[in-house]
């Protein structure tokens, strides 16, 4: 019999079973067909049968009958029934957990949460920009030190000696290059607004995007981008008009040009329905729109949302 743990008051029971734990947790990020195939390929027939028998203790046994046939067919049908039970919101189940982490199927890059990937990519881009700016400043500092501090030999060990310091704008003879560099580093005005001609030519020119609403003498080309969203675990009676109203409620100050919702074929249409929602916005507002429409706080509780991908 599976291990169980005492739960706190008003908390669900905790039961140890890796297969049911994986199914219960990955329902939020994996399609039912993908989840069924992954589990049936990874777990043995005996492990799936133990999970089916355990889950049948919490539901009507007619919903999870023991399957007959070849091992692969039995495993696939059993997992499919367990997924159907776990996705049913009317069934109260315990919280399944795992003890052996190696008994969880590895999930490849085709089954990741793309909204999390986009967030990580955006953070990585910001870090790369910051590092690039830092490297540019270091390069400028090196150029100024070499071009602004000429050296000559002292004759004793050929120690480089600087011809200049910032002491009142006067040159000081006999100071080493290292001492000059150290003194210049402590002077906040030493390199202010000083850029060599070569660095100016290398520096990329800044690109700006106009934001004025008062200047209307010329007009930019209007372009539209689409935020494609996959919305699932909706009530079977949900219609396209409901999705349009939902999007308009959460859009805030974003100017939404159009909302196109397309109903998708669900495997269990009697339990839930899924939609492809395409929200068309101005190209300049695309990043803001993605943040808004991929926010967990904007959608109703229990609704599953991720970036839509063509099959």
Question: Does 208 reside within a domain?
Answer: no
Question: Is residue 1 in a domain?
Answer: no
Would you say 235 and 271 are in contact if contact means Cβ atoms under 8 Å apart?
no
Predicted local distance difference test score (pLDDT) of residue 194: 64
Confidence of residue 196 (pLDDT cuts 50, 70, 90): low
Structure tokens at 48: 């799936």
The CATH number covering residue 243 comes to 3.30.70.260
Q: Do 257 and 171 share a structural domain?
A: no
Has residue 188 been placed in a domain? yes
The pLDDT of residue 171? 41
Q: Which residue has the higher pLDDT, 206 or 59?
A: 59
Q: Please check whether residue 151 is in contact with residue 162, taking contact to mean a CB–CB distance below 8 angstroms.
A: yes
Last residue of a domain, one of 67, 96, 112: 112
Q: What is the CA radius of gyration of the chain?
A: 32
The predicted-structure confidence for 259-279, as pLDDT tens digits, reads as follows: 888 888 888 888 889 999 999
Rounded Cα gap, residues 121 and 128, in angstroms: 10
Q: Write the pLDDT tens digit of every residue in 211-260.
A: 777 887 887 777 888 889 999 998 888 898 888 888 888 888 888 888 88
pTM score, whole prediction:
0.34
Higher pLDDT, 52 or 116: 52
Q: What is the pLDDT of residue 111?
A: 59
Q: Is the domain of 88 the same as that of 20?
A: yes
Window from 79-93, 132-146, 188-202 with minimum mean pLDDT: 188-202
Q: What is the pLDDT of residue 176?
A: 62
Both 237 and 290 in one domain: the answer is: yes
Q: What is the pLDDT of residue 164?
A: 44
15/88 same-domain check: yes
92 and 14, same structural domain? yes
Cα dihedral 131, 132, 138, 139, rounded to 10, equals 160
> Residues 138, 153: one domain?
yes
Q: Do 147 and 162 touch, CB atoms closer than 8 A?
A: no
The answer as to whether 185 is a domain residue is yes
The stretch 87-106 carries a mean pLDDT of: 84
Together in a domain, 86 and 122: no
Domain residues for 131?
115-194
> Where residue 112 falls among pLDDT bands split at 50, 70, 90?
low
Give the pLDDT confidence score for residue 202 in this predicted structure: 67
Tell whether 243 and 276 lie within a shared domain.
yes
Query: 83, 112, 141 — which closes off a domain?
Result: 112
**With 70 as the cut, is the pLDDT of residue 56 above it?**
yes
Q: Verify that 102 and 16 share a domain, yes or no.
A: yes
Domain for residue 4, yes or no?
Answer: no
pLDDT at position 215, please? 82
My answer on whether 104 and 122 are in the same domain is: no
Inter-residue contact 82 to 52 (CB < 8 Å): yes
Per-residue pLDDT at 191 = 63
Which of the pair, 244 or 152, is modelled with greater confidence? 244
**Which pLDDT does position 296 carry in this prediction?**
86
Q: Looking at 91, 112, 133, which one is the last position of a domain?
A: 112
Query: Quick check: is 206 in a domain?
Result: no
276, part of any domain: yes
Residues 135 and 108 in one domain: no
Query: Which of residues 52 and 203 earns the better pLDDT score?
Result: 52
Is 100 in the same domain as 120? no
Question: Of 163 and 104, which is predicted with more confidence?
Answer: 104
Average pLDDT across the chain, whole number: 78
Summarize the confidence of residues 26-49 as an average pLDDT: 87
Domain-embedded: residue 45: yes
Residue 96 has pLDDT above 80, yes or no: yes
User: How many domains is the chain built from?
Assistant: 3
């Amino acid at each position: 019999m599976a291990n169980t743990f005492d739960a706190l008051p008003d908390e669900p029971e905790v039961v140890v079973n890796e297969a049911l734990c994986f199914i219960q947790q990955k329902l939020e990020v994996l399609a039912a067909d993908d989840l069924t195939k992954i589990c049936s390929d990874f777990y043995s027939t005996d492990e799936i049968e133990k999970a089916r028998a355990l889950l049948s203790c919490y539901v009507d046994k007619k919903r999870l009958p023991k399957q007959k046939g070849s091992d692969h067919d039995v495993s696939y049908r059993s997992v499919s029934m367990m997924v159907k039970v776990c996705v049913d919101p009317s069934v109260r189940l315990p919280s399944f957990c795992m003890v052996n982490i190696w008994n969880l199927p590895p999930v490849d890059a085709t089954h990741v949460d793309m909204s999390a990937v986009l967030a990580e990519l955006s953070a990585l881009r910001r870090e790369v920009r910051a590092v690039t700016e830092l490297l540019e400043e270091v390069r400028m500092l090196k150029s100024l030190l070499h071009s602004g501090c000429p050296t000559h030999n002292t004759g004793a060990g050929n120690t480089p000696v600087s011809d200049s310091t910032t002491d009142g704008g006067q040159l000081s003879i006999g100071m080493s290059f290292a001492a000059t560099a150290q003194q210049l580093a402590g002077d906040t005005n030493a390199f202010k607004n000083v850029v060599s001609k070569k660095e100016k030519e290398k520096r990329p020119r800044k690109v700006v995007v106009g934001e004025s609403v008062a200047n209307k003498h010329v007009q930019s080309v209007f372009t539209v981008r689409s935020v494609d969203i996959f919305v699932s675990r909706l009530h079977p009676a949900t219609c396209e008009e409901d999705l349009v109203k939902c999007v308009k409620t959460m859009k805030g100050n974003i100017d939404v040009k159009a909302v196109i919702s397309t109903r998708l074929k669900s495997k269990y249409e009697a339990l839930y329905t899924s939609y492809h929602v395409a929200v068309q916005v101005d190209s300049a507002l695309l990043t803001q729109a993605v943040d808004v429409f991929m926010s967990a706080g904007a959608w109703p509780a229990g609704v599953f949302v991720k970036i839509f991908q063509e099959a």
